[in-house]
Structure formats: structure tokens, C-alpha cells
Structure 1
Amino acid sequence: MTLQEEYRVSLDAFQGPMDLLLYLIRRAEVDVQDIRIAEITDQYLAFLRGIDAIDIDVAGEFLVTAATLIEIKSRSLVPVDRTSSSEDGADGESGDGESLDPRFELIQVLLAYQRYRVAAETLNGQRLEHARRFALRPTRRRRERDADVPLFELEDLHVLDLQESYERIAASIDFTRLGDHHVEIDDTPIALHQEDLLDRLERSPEKRLTLQESFEGRTVGQRVGLFLAMLELTRLRRIRVSQEHVRSDIIVEMAEDEPTGAVAVPTAIAVPPTPEA
């Protein structure tokens, strides 16, 4: 039997050497921080010796951990000179149990792995719970409707296909219920809306207006142009738009920063410069 087969089948699919160590610790019914390194090391090595053939690709991490366990076990067997350890602690180094206990680093790794393992099991449980849910099946009418709609690749579409789709949608809408609809066209240049907004801000007492005040007396088309002008002036840092909270008024005011650009007035309506005397 190879290590991969033993690892995945006989020992309940351990995900690595840390998983195997946690299994051995749970089997010994001790807390992670109370592990007996000699006993755990012997059990771990017995597991490796019981494998007939070793797959290097899988065994690498297990063998590295085995070497680490042997090192920790050997250090735990060496008597600790507590006098020198106390002197080291007086010099600023750690003189507590962390420096005296050779298991410390291994225990920290096991505790961290244990936390990740618990989180992984929780997520897997949520995945299984979600897998038991059933999506709402489409109604018969919707299935029949979807079956009648031909599928097109985007690159295969022609303008006549779009026209046909529009006519099919328009035929399903009762436009008489919507009443008359007028589309207003405003061809005022955005630059003029910018100049108008800046002029109104300059003339306002506090050099600020609410968004509602800036739209007063404007048609729908003019409001759209004015809104685009606000966006451009904000980008140029000529004005600043702010709102304290969701339901408060939107404030438009002159910016205190230096502007990054000037408003470009269309040449067709630009005022020629005054000739010098």
C-alpha cells in the first residue's frame, strides 16, 4: 500500500501532517497544549513505518514534520540550564516558558491549524446545506415562451434582427394607455451651462446653492445639460458637491482649491477680445 492510499483511505483522508497530528492528539484525549511530545512522536513515526511504499510527492511534508518532531523530542530530553536561561532573560531575551518549552512553536502551529480546520468544516457544512436547496422551477408558460425565442450569437446579429425584436416588443405594449409622450431636445452647449452655473454661484450670498435651487425654472432638457455641466466642473475642481446624509439637500458650492482647467466656451459663441488701445 502506498502512502497516498494509506493517507486517503485508511486514515480518513488526512489533509496533511498537521491533520494527522491533531488526530493522534484527539485519540490520546489530551489538549493540544498538553501534548506529550515523546508519545506523539513515537505514534507519528509508527504510522510512517507502517507504510509499504512511499510516494515522495505526497510524503515530503510528512517526512519534514517527522524530522521536526524528532528534533523537538531530542531537545525535550536535554536538561535545561535554568540559570543561564534566567541570565538571558535579564539581558532582554525571553526568559519565560516560551524559551524553555521546545514544544512551543509546534503547539502554536497546531492551534492555528485547528482554527482553520474548524472554519473549513463550518464552510463545508454551509455548502452541504446550500446543496440541499432546490431552485424554483420556471412555470410552464415561461418555459414555452423561452422555447419560442431563438438564440443568437452577438456577432451573428444584424440590424434587421434588432428591428424585428423591437417590433415584437412594441406590439406587446399598449401605447394608447401611455398617452402622448414628447421628447425634448436641448442643443445648448455644456460650456454655456457651466458658465451659467458658475455665474449663479458667484451671485449667490454664500456662493452656494442646493441642487433643487440650481434646477428651478429649467426644463427637463436644460436640467440634463446643467447636471452634465456640474459633473464636468466637479472634475475640473471648479465646484464642490456634497451631502451630509442621505435625506439632506445636495449642496453645490464654489471650490476652494485651485481649478485644474478652464471652462472652454464654444468658438461659435465666444466673445472676441477687446482690442488694445
Structure 2
Amino acid sequence: MAVREAFTVKTPLYEGPLDLLLELIEKRKLLINDISLAAVAEEYITKINALDALPVAETAQFIALAATLLLVKSRSLLPMLELSPDEERDIKELQYRLEVYKIIKEAGRGLSRLFGGAQLYEGSWREPEALFLPDKSATLESLRAAVNMLIEGFPQTLALPRVEVQRTISLEDMVENLSKRVTQAMRLSFKEFAGKKEKTEVIVGFLALLELVKQGIIRASQQKEFGDIMLESDSVSTPSYE
């Protein structure tokens, strides 16, 4: 019987066994946010799809390790997330199961160190008993569905709406612009100055007009109500005919 090759994680930042990846993350030698758990799960699904039979023990180990990584990543991405009592209970139950799994795994390593080498005696062969029997409803499809649900539960990146803010000319800039135009033209109508400007700019232009009149820099006159406003300046420069 051929020995099945152990599952190896392959990402840009890490390549190796899944349990070693978890150990490095717990020791803060790798950042959980830099590892794509979706890619790891997809890679494992591809592997088991290529097998003739479902590797129950290996799959159970993968789910336990993946659940631990998911828990660590969720808390890293959402440290201030408020959970409901049911969600808190589910997380505590998951943590308890993962701690039990960790204890069993460490105990297994200890037994391997004690009995992994050559022994002074050799016991009689005994057919190993099944210590774990999967539920009869456990199939490859149900496992795939469970992993997909796990992936769908990963935190999603929220796309913030884009808002374009138009630049509005300041009153100071408008005062300077209007003063310059009146000085160059000697006599200028406000309607000519406003031209095809936006409504907001016309309002700022009118405020600039009032400020220049208040300071005595220009004079303003109006022949009739609601008529055009004529602007003149005492300080006249060379006219510009642009």
C-alpha cells in the first residue's frame, strides 16, 4: 500500500506543512493577514478531488487547523467586532475543541518519542480498532459544501464609494482676479466678468465686487434696477485686449 503524500501549503510567503504554518503564526513569525486562507482551502479541495477515497483522518486534521487559522484571522481583522451571545458561545466551543485537539496532538508526539524507536520487546500483532467513525452522511460533496461555507464566512473587503469634490475658488482669489480685470480694462461690466462661470463662482464674484467697493478700490454703478453693474477703477494700467 502506497504512503499518501502529506498536504503541503504553497503560498508566496510560505511553503510547507499546514500545522507548521499555524505554529509560526501563533509564535508571530508570520502574519496571518498575509496568508490567503481561501487559496489554502481551494488547494486542499483540489487535492482530495484527485483521490479515490476520502482521507477521513487527514481531512479532520485539516478542518481543525483551518478553523484555528480562521479564528486567528477573524480576530486580527475585526478586533473590535461585537458578537452575539450565540456567536460567543460558538467561538468558545471551537476554542475548546481546538485546545483538546492540540493536547491530543502533543500527547501523540510524546508517545512517538517514547515508542518511536526500536524496543526491547515486540508485542503480538493486533488488528487496529477504529477509534473514529465518520457519520454516514459525510461525503465528499458535504465536505466541499462545509469548506465553501467556511470560505464564504471570511471577512470581505468593503468598497468605499468614490466622491468627486469640485474645486471652488476662494473669495481672496476672486477679489484679486476682479481687481486685476477692472484695472486692465478701465471699465468693465459685471456681466462681462461673470461670463459663463458656474453659479457658485458668480456668487463669489459678487461678494468680491462688494468687498472692492467697500475698500474703495473700484466704483460700481447701475443705471436701472436689475440692470448690469458697471465697474471702474481709479488706478488704470495698460488695457488688455485678450
Query: TM-score scaled by structure 1?
Result: 0.25
* The structure with more helix, counted as a fraction of residues: 1
